[in-house]
C-alpha cells in the first residue's frame, strides 16, 4: 500500500533545507543541509540523507548520517557548520559531495561508493598550481556549490551576492578534471548579482545564492535563489559555460506571483531564503524547495511541487500545496495534521517572516524528538490553508485545538469564500475536538480555517468524515 505524500515530504520533526534531489537506481535521494528544530543559526547538524522509491514518493527512508561536520580537516573541533551541499557521479562511478564550511571561502570534496553511505574527505577544489579556489587574488569567496558531470568533465557553479556588495559579481562556473578537484577552466560569470543586473533580463530577479544545475534534453537549466530570496528562478542555455537566458520563477515559498486562486501580489505565507532544484521522476518534473517554521530563518523544511514542462522548454511557476509529491489531491477523508498548511497568514499578509506574533509551525520537545508539528501563535484573523483534497460524500468536519482562547474557527473552501461551518473553541490545556455536520461538495477543494476571537489557540489537526 503506497503512502500518501505530503508537504513537507519528510516527517514533521525533520529539518532538511536546501534540497538537491537526484534519482539513483530507482530511488530519489535528497541531499541538503541540516537545520535543528528551534535552532539559533543555519545548518547546525551533520549531513543526513533521505530517499524514497520513485513509485512511492510518500515512503521516505532515513539513510542516516552520511558526513559528519568534523570529517573535514579544517573543522576537527566541529565549530563550523556544513552549508548547502551538492552531489554528482564522477567518471569513475563514485559519488562526490561538494560543500562549503560556514567560515571558509573554499570548496571541500568528499567521496563515497554509494549514494548514501559514509562519505570520506577527499580534498579541496584547486587550480593546477595547488592554490585553492577562493584563495587566489581576484577570486570571490565560494558558496553553495552546484555540480554536473558529463563524461570526464564536471561543471562546478557557486557564488553569493547580497544586495549592495559590489565585490560579489554573480554566479560563476569552473570545470574540473576527472580527479574531481583540479580546475581546467577559469572562473566565468554566468548570472549577474543585483549590483550588476541593471538593464539585463535578470533585473529584479538577479542572482543571490543557491546555485544548482540540471540538464533537460539538450539544454542546461541553472536554478538559483534570486535577490528577493523567497523565490527560485531558472535560466537556460545551450552551453553550460555561458549564454544563459532568464526563464522565470519556478516557485516562491510565499506563493507570490501566483494568480490562480488569489491576487498575484498577495503572499499567502511569510517567507525568507530559498534553495532547491528540479528533478525528473518517472515522466514528471518536480521542484524541491524549503519553507520556514517557528517564525525564524533557522528551522527550515523540505517541500516539493510538480512542474509542467511546456513544448518550448519553459517551466511555469508551481503553486505551493500540501500534496506536492502525491501525484494529485489527497483523499478527502480522514485526519490530517495542521503542519501540512501551505498557506498561513494574518489579515496583513506579511511577505517576510520575523514580525512579532506571526502564526507559525512548531513542535513540542527538543530537536530530534519525534513530536508531530502543529500551528501556534494563532490570533484574531489568522488563516491556515491546506491544498488540495478530493472530497466525496463528506458530511462532517472537525478540528483539534488547545490553549487559552475564546473564539471560533471558520471553515471555507476558498481563502475569501463563504463560511461553511463554525467551530467554537475555548480555554483548554489539552487537545480537544470540535465537530460539526457540514456537507462539502464533491470535488477537489482547498480547506481554509480562519480564527476569530480573543487569545491564541493552537491547531493540531482537522478531520474529514
| Spans of all domains in the chain | 20-307, 333-464
User: 20-307: which CATH architecture?
Assistant: 5 Propeller (2.115)
Return the ∠ at Cα 35 (arms to 140 and 55), rounded to 5°. Answer: 100
Identify whether the C-beta of residue 433 lies closer than 8 Å to the C-beta of residue 406: no
Catalytic center residues: 18, 209
Sign of CA dihedral 412, 413, 414, 417: negative
pTM over cut 0.85? yes
Per-residue pLDDT of the chain (465 residues; tens, 9 = 90+): 689 999 999 999 999 999 999 999 999 999 999 999 999 999 999 999 999 999 999 999 999 999 999 999 999 999 999 999 999 999 999 999 999 999 999 999 999 999 999 999 999 999 999 999 999 999 999 999 999 999 999 999 999 999 999 999 999 999 999 999 999 999 999 999 999 999 999 999 999 999 999 999 999 999 999 999 999 999 999 999 999 999 999 999 999 999 999 999 999 999 999 999 999 999 999 999 999 999 999 999 999 999 999 999 999 999 999 999 999 999 999 999 999 999 999 999 999 999 889 999 999 999 999 999 999 999 999 999 999 999 999 999 999 999 899 999 999 999 999 999 999 999 999 999 999 999 999 999 999 999 999 999 999 999 999
Identify whether the C-beta of residue 195 lies closer than 8 Å to the C-beta of residue 165: yes
Cβ-based neighbours of 391, under 8 Å, separated by 6 or more: 332, 440, 441, 442, 443, 444, 445, 464
Which of these CATH numbers, 3.40.50.10860, 3.30.1180.20, 2.60.120.260, 3.90.1150.170, describes 333-464?
2.60.120.260
Identify whether the C-beta of residue 173 lies closer than 8 Å to the C-beta of residue 146: no
Instruction: Please state, as a whole number, how many other Cβ atoms lie within 10 Å of the Cβ of residue 454.
Output: 12
Amino acid at each position: 500500500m503506497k503512502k500518501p505524500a505530503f508537504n513537507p515530504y519528510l516527517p514533521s520533526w525533520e529539518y532538511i533545507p536546501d534540497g538537491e534531489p537526484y534519482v539513483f537506481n530507482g530511488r530519489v535521494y535528497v541531499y541538503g543541509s541540516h537545520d535543528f528544530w528551534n535552532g539559533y543559526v543555519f545548518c547546525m547538524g551533520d549531513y543526513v540523507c533521505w530517499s524514497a522509491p520513485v513509485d512511492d514518493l510518500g515512503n521516505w527512508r532515513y539513510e542516516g548520517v552520511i558526513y559528519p561536520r568534523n570529517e573535514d580537516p579544517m573543522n576537527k573541533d566541529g565549530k563550523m557548520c556544513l552549508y548547502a551541499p551538492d552531489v554528482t557521479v564522477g567518471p569513475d562511478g563514485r559519488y562526490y559531495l561538494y560543500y562549503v564550511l560556514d567560515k571558509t571561502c573554499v570548496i571541500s570534496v568528499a567521496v563515497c561508493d554509494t549514494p548514501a553511505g559514509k562519505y570520506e574527505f577527499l580534498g579541496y577544489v584547486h587550480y593546477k598550481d595547488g592554490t585553492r579556489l577562493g584563495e587566489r587574488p581576484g577570486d570571490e569567496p565560494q558558496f553553495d556549490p552546484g555540480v554536473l558531470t558529463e563524461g570526464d568533465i564536471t561543471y562546478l557553479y557557486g557564488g553569493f551576492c547580497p544586495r549592495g556588495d559590489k565585490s560579489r559579481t554573480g554566479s560563476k562556473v569552473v570545470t574540473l578534471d576527472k580527479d574531481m578537484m583540479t580546475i581546467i577552466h577559469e572562473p566565468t560569470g554566468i548570472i549577474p548579482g543585483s549590483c550588476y543586473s541593471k538593464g539585463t533580463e535578470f533585473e529584479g530577479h538577479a542572482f543571490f545564492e543557491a546555485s544548482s544545475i540540471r540538464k533537460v534534453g539538450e539544454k542546461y537549466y541553472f536554478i538559483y535563489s534570486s535577490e528577493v530570496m523567497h523565490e527560485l528562478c531558472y535560466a537556460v542555455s545551450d552551453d553550460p559555460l555561458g549564454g544563459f537566458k532568464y526563464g522565470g520563477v519556478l516557485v516562491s515559498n510565499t506563493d507570490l506571483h501566483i494568480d490562480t486562486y488569489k491576487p498575484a501580489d498577495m503572499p499567502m505565507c511569510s517567507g525568507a531564503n530559498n534553495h532547491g532544484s528540479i528533478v525528473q521522476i518517472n515522466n514528471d518534473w518536480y521542484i524541491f524547495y524549503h519553507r520556514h517554521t517557528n517564525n525564524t530563518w533557522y528551522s527550515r523544511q523540505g517541500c516539493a511541487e510538480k512542474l509542467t514542462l511546456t513544448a518550448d522548454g519553459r517551466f511555469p511557476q508551481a503553486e505551493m500545496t500540501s500534496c506536492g509529491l502525491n501525484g494529485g489531491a489527497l483523499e478527502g477523508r480522514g485526519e490530517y495534521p495542521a503542519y501540512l498548511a501551505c498557506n498561513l497568514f494574518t489579515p496583513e499578509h506579511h511577505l517576510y517572516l520575523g514580525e512579532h506574533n506571526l502564526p507559525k509551525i512548531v513542535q513540542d520537545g527538543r530537536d530530534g524528538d519525534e513530536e508531530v508539528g502543529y500551528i501556534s501563535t494563532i490570533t484574531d484573523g489568522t488563516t491556515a490553508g491546506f491544498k488540495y483534497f478530493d472530497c466525496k460524500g463528506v458530511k462532517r468536519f472537525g478540528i483539534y485545538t488547545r490553549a487559552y482562547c475564546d473564539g471560533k474557527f471558520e471553515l471555507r473552501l476558498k481563502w475569501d469564500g463563504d463560511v461553511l461551518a463554525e467551530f467554537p473553541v475555548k480555554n483548554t490545556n489539552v487537545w480537544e475536538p470540535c465537530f460539526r455536520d457540514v456537507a462539502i461538495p464533491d470535488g477537489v477543494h482547498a480547506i481554509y480555517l480562519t480564527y476569530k476571537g480573543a487569545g491564541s489557540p493552537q491547531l493540531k489537526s482537522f478531520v474529514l468524515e
